Structure 1
Amino acid sequence: MEKYAIIDESAFPLITIQFTGAKSTDENFIAYLQENKNCYRHKEKLGIIFDATNASLPSLKHQQMQAAWLKENKGLMEAYCLGTAYVIPSAAVRSILRVIFSIQKQPVPYQICENIDEAQVWIKSALSKNLA
């Protein structure tokens, strides 16, 4: 199975999720959602950068699964996630994110960024304000 996303927790509490460009399948998308939830296993405050620079467009079914995941994990996110930064240079992928958020609101502060540097500045600011 080709991974849909790679999750890097090496700089915890900053987590980076980089989409690989692989087409979403039931198998890799379910694995991505499970790995995403696993980021909260420490029950500690964190911030996440979603790097969608290479993201492929998920199917409508997978968009709905992502929205359901947000709804199901809202409390977990509100308790531990201080913010999410999205690196989305593609207008098409930004549109998909808006569709997902129209199905289920993003429960934590977020910023849509054009590049990884902008995302790192925003998320580090969110973390430093809330972890100080």
Structure 2
Amino acid sequence: MPLAPVPAGPPPITLDDSQWPVLVVKLGRDPTESAVETYLAAREAYLARAQPHVVVIDTRAVHLPSPRLRQRYTDWLCQHERALRQWTLGTAYVINSPAVRMMTSVIRHCARMATPFLVSETLPASAAWAAERLHEAGLLQAATRLRAHYSVPAS
């Protein structure tokens, strides 16, 4: 039986929880509907841990997702608003594209997201902000680890 072809290039969405309670999400150029559903299921599992955490979403490689994917993500945010508010200490977005920046703003507005957030152009700036959220929540070891991992000074 022949093996299925392996898609070329990086995965459409990766999740790295090696610095938990920090979750780093990296979006590839063109996430598929299947990849988004897999990501949302994973995010739901992280929320089910019932642990405070921060999320860093790196969108530097992504182009504008389709309206259908944007709506799916907005709907998911609305459906999980309570858990997101309870367990997400903040979300840092790494965004270089003005169009993706606008899209993120619209999604957050439509989903009525009230959790703290930051939009920056670099991963170290987002990591520094995430470390501050951890520090403020009393997760000092996690904040120190995150700063060391991204070589950002304490503020």
TM norm. shorter chain > 0.5? yes
Is 1:37 the equivalent of 2:44?
A: yes
Match of residue 143 from structure 2: none
By relative contact order (CA 8 Å, sep 6+), the higher-ranking structure is 1
| Structure 1 segment 3-82 matched on structure 2, within 5 A | 3-21=11-29, 23-82=30-89
5+ long unaligned stretches in structure 2: 1-5, 140-155
RMSD of aligned alpha carbons: 1.6
- Identical aligned pairs, as a percentage? 23
| Residue deviations 1:16-44 (CA, integer Å, cap 9, x gap) | 001122x2332122112112222223211
Moved over 6 A (4+): none
TM-score, with normalisation over the residues of structure 1? 0.91
Name which of 113, 134, 150 aligns with 1:127: 134
Mapped contact 2:13–2:31 kept (Cα < 8 A): no
Other structure's SS at 2:48 match: coil
5+ long unaligned stretches in structure 1: none
